[in-house]
Structure 1
Amino acid sequence: MSVLPADPHLPVAHLRPPRNWVNDPNGLTFHDGYYHVFFQYNPYGAEHANMHWGHFRSADLLTWEELPVALTPTPGGDDADGCFSGNAVSDNDRMIAFYSAHRTDNWAQPVTTAESRDNGRTWTPRGSLLITDLPEGVTMYRDPYVWREGGRWRMLVGSALADGRAAALLYESPDLEHWQYQGPFLDRAPQPLAPGADTGLGWECPQYLHTPDGRGALILSAWDPQLGPRRTVVYPGLEQEGRFHAAAPALFDHGPDFYAPALLPAPDGRWLLWGWSWEARDQQWAKEAGWAGLLTLPREVTLGEDGSVRQQPTAELLSLRGERALTACGETTGTAVLGTVGASFDLTARLQRNSPATAGGLRLVTSPDGSEYLDIRFDPATAELVVDREHASLDPRAHGGTYRIPCFEEGADFGAAIELRLVVDRSVAELYLPSGRTLTLRFYPTGAHPWRIEAHAGREGLIGYTVAAWNLRPDTMRHEAEGSAQSALI
């Protein structure tokens, strides 16, 4: 019988081992009838060090088996300082992982590979670099992304250039072994996205979502040489003759705690995606807890007719829902208590305001006296949802802040009903809108569940609500003894 984790913030429905550090998802591929999800992993502690590749696999995106650590640094080898991010491909009876061989004294992390012929259980490193010479003018170089297209293999590598541009560099190969540099697939100087946010001086973890007619989207993780990882951006556009002609960039996720997403082309034609959600608490707290970081729920990613990239939870995740925790339908001019939920739940809501100027929203109250809560409210002046975690934890080691996400598609009536889906799993919240926009955020309630869901109307306004919530099944994460193969049901 499974036992809920003693740590009230350790998720039960998000992929991660029970202890230690996790960051970027890597090597996402479908092979031997399984979805394989690798990830950056420190098996020795809850800090960013000793980079290995951890490994989960699943036949159905619900029941996950943790396999032994896949990639391990080779003492004295090119990857002695760490096996950093990249991806993997399925090639007949073998899997090949492409990854960054980290060098601590240089931003340039050349590409190397490892191979598995037993469905990912054991891996043999190539013992040398795959690409030995970096293009002229490159200062940062890392995170290969490889895919098959039109009878050839193609690879993007994230980079920064000496002249201040970020770039995704393109290579091509007939056989996965001999690679020819084609030039920048896309390069840009930093472009503004929002107040205080731009597309970055360098790009990590490039991912290419594309259709047979050449339409596509480049998903890029913005990096700064002084500040490190910043945010994830997306450029929609069209490829022509080995160059990506991009439209205006946009935020890929509107939350503060999302980075380095990775794509997996599923056998049914869908594009699936996982991201890394980092901690939003003091590092010492995470070290004391013995774990840091998690992978988001799997998302299905599509290209809209307008070129926008849309995200939604995979349909399989409906099976995560256990008993219905609450059903509420009504209206209020003040505060309405809708019911209670557990610490991990899936909620859908439709909020109807009586005028375009009416504010209002939902509140997740996590303390009996109401002093600790996560707010999701509508700002009628900007037609945005504001997710406010300033009061989401009474522990001063947790980070605060308010974050905004456009509520409607361009051209929509601002008086329209607001629809949303919110999945909360102990210390992570993933917000999904019908437009395909998302917001990922971490928070650390101190109050014991059940937690209370409330609807709030703004001043001199009325808000109608239809809300349903399901607790996530309490056995959604099972682990055997640490150090052995572990299984997880999510």
Structure 2
Amino acid sequence: MSVMPADPHLPVAHLRPPSNWINDPNGLAFHNGHYHVCFQYNPYGPEHAHMHWGHFRSPDLLTWEELPVALTPTPGADDADGCFSGNAVSDGDRLIAFYSAFRTDRWAQPVTTAESRDNGVTWTPRGSLLIPEPPDGATMYRDPYVWREADRWRMLVGSAQANGRAAALLYESADLEEWEYRGPFLARVPQPVAPGADTGLGWECPQYLHANGRGALLIGAWDPELGPRRTVVYPGREQDGRFLAEAPSLLDHGPDFYAPALLPAPDGRWLLWGWSWEARDPEWVRESGWAGLLTLPREVTLAEDGSLRQQPAAELLALRDERAVTATGRTTATAVLGTVSPSFDLTARLEPRAADTTAGLRLVTSADGAEYLDIRIDPDAGELVVDRDHASLDPRAHGGTFRIPCPEATAASGVPVELRLVVDRSVAELYLPSGRTLTLRFYPTGGAPWQIEARTGGTGGLGYSVGAWNLRPYTMRYAASRRHPAAAAATSS
């Protein structure tokens, strides 16, 4: 059973239930032939409150089944005010979820667990805390991440420290029950990573990817006044229980990406999902009845230079439907390349012949051309600029321009700019061959189809080769007891 959204901004190829609030991906695991993806979930409305864990599973990353809510706060227990973020591991015949228990104190969220022995359908809470108290010096404490390494289990917990450092704290265990605190895996004072962004006063949602003697520590940069900011990656390597970090960088260069979670796949790949929050006013969110979505699953790899590279999971190529656009040529003004549906997958090779800050692609989403999303080449900065200032005619949508490093974009590089853009109604994910990404939300008010244009104002013109495919939706089976009425009206088998 597939549910096609009636709301024109509700995605068809990004995971989320048809209604209500979601945020961080949690509980990612591969168990008994299924990928399990949980997430922070408010089953009662589109606000950040009443945190449960929603739950989907899939055998192939394309066909998804919504399972019953995995974790529910227990009245009077340590998680009475919310089951907050964490992860899950497959251990024999059981799935074990590790999560932050929230009761009254928003800063200290001790670690507890729940387990499932029926492939994630039902979960039994531990009923007590696994790690009752944070170590001395922690002023914020949350979000366990557990993984198996050789003959031991290891855990990172995000924190802020009284000495002004943010830290990922390391624990180890032989049996998932008794945990020894080993100290900070990495601790840092705030460091700049991009204009207006630093590594934060505290860290949440730590994740650790490691391969071939190298590693990458992913953290959510957090501020006690401003809350979650951006996601940062530290490349480096481990030595004696400490992470020897190199210079940090942004994991995603967009404004609407946070709290990614890793899943080690059975074929040796590392997969990653992130949370993409809303970029529209709360009034509109309440009217729509839903907030937040999970990004596409991304394959992440460690490059030889230590950088973390991301691309859409290979399975997603199967979502490509008919090829909607095939265009090759050169323009000195504007070339209309074709039309696409509001969910599409595009690849482009762009060759500007002269320094021109207007050269690039435009996605026109209204019949009069007044509503559009621009991707421009900045040859002076060696960046791509994604401009959503005109991406919605509704004034409640947020605007802004955002930049992603792209050395090929420099005027002197002589190398074509290549990119992949996946758009799904109200979310755009931009991928470069370097592995850099940019994720943002936008809210077109015009109807389908949308028009793809190549544009330039330079005398040298812009060479282009563009292909675009409309996207088929995920095959979704939602829990019948809580399907969204508007979405149910558009159900197709």
TM-score category, normalised to shorter length = over 0.9
Change (3 A) 1:195 1:484: closer
Please give the per-residue CA displacement for 1:228-263, whole angstroms capped at 9, x wherever unaligned.
000000000010000000000000000000000000
Q: 2:213 maps to what in 1?
A: 214
Aligned to 1:273: 272
Partner SS for 1:17: coil
Contact 2:31 2:119 in 1 (8 A): yes
Partner of 1:191: 191
- Does structure 2 conserve the Cα–Cα contact (< 8 Å) formed by 1:409 and 1:435? no
Deviation at 1:416, TM superposition (A): 1.1
* TM, length-normalised to structure 2: 0.96
What residue number does 2:420 align with?
421
Query: 1 CA distance for matches of 2:310 and 2:460?
Result: 32
2:58 is matched with 58
Cα distance change, pair 417–476 in 1 and its aligned pair in 2 (3 A): farther
Encode CA deviations 1:163-216: one digit per residue, 9 max, x unaligned: 1110000000000000000000000000001111101001110000001x4310
Aligned 8 A contact 1:383 1:414 in 2: no
- Alpha-carbon distance in structure 2 between the residues aligned to 1:306 and 1:475: 35
Q: Structure 1, residues 104-139: CA drift from partner, whole Å, max 9, x if none? A: 334010000001111111111111110112111100
CA distance in 2, matches of 1:484, 1:439: 31
Q: Is 96-105 or 427-436 further displaced after alignment?
A: 96-105
Q: How does 1:109-124 map to 2 (within 5 A)?
A: 109-124=109-124
Task: State the identity as a percent.
Answer: 78
Name the counterpart of 1:352: 351
Match of 2:285 in 1: 286
Corresponding residue for residue 180 of structure 2: 180
Instruction: Output the amino acid matched with 2:46.
Output: A
Per the TM alignment, residue 461 of structure 1 is displaced from its structure 2 partner at its CA by 2.8
> What's the secondary structure of 1:286's corresponding residue?
helix
SS at match of 1:469: strand
1:89-488 aligned at under 5 Å gives the runs 89-211=89-211, 213-355=212-354, 359-408=358-407, 414-473=413-472, 477=476, 479=478, 481-483=480-482
Residue 377 of structure 1 aligns with an amino acid whose one-letter code is R
**Whole-Å separation in 2 of the counterparts to 1:95 and 1:477:** 23
CA RMSD of aligned residues (A): 2.0
Once residues 264 and 412 of structure 1 are traced to their aligned partners in structure 2, the CA distance between those partners, rounded to angstroms, is: 39
Aligned pair in 2 of structure 1 residues 412, 436: CA closer, same or farther (>3 Å)? farther
Q: Which residue in the other structure is 1:5 paired with?
A: 5
Q: Structure 1: any 5+ residue segments left out of the alignment?
A: none
Distance 1:217 1:359, change over 3 A: same
Higher alpha-carbon deviation: 104-113 or 285-294: 104-113
Tell me if 1:75 matches 2:80.
no
2:319, 2:473 within 8 Å by CA — same for their partners in 1? Answer: no
Tell me the CA shift for residue 150 of structure 1: 1.6
Q: Does the Cα contact within 8 Å between 1:386 and 1:404 map onto a contact in 2?
A: yes
> Quick one: distance in 2 between partners of 1:172 and 1:2?
43
1:451 & 1:311 partners in 2: Cα distance? 27
Q: Secondary structure, in 3 states, of the residue corresponding to 1:288?
A: helix
Query: Against the structure 1 CA distance between its residues 74 and 325, is the aligned structure 2 distance closer, same or farther, given a 3 Å change threshold?
Result: same
Question: What TM-score, normalized by structure 1, do the two folds share?
Answer: 0.96
Q: Runs in 1 of length 4+ with deviation above 2 angstroms?
A: 1-4, 103-106, 355-359, 408-415, 458-461, 474-489
Deviation, 1:359, is 4.8
**How much does 1:474 deviate?**
5.2
**How far apart, in 1, do the equivalents of 2:474 and 2:276 lie?**
22
Match of 2:41 in 1: 41
Residues 410 and 150 of structure 1: CA distance in aligned 2, closer, same or farther (over 3 Å): farther
Q: How many residues align?
A: 488
Whole-angstrom distance in 2 between the partners of 1:112 and 1:169: 16
CA pair 448-459 structure 1, distance change in 2 beyond 3 A: same
CA pair 71-154 structure 1, distance change in 2 beyond 3 A: same
Change (3 A) 1:222 1:387: same
Q: Distance in 2 between matches of 1:324 and 1:152?
A: 49
* Structure 2: distance between partners of 1:175 and 1:350: 51
Deviation at 1:224, TM superposition (A): 0.3
Q: Distance in 2 between matches of 1:92 and 1:387?
A: 46
How many Å separate the matches in 2 of 1:268 and 1:441?
A: 30
* Partner secondary structure for residue 315 of structure 2: helix
Q: Alignment partner of 1:181: what SS?
A: strand
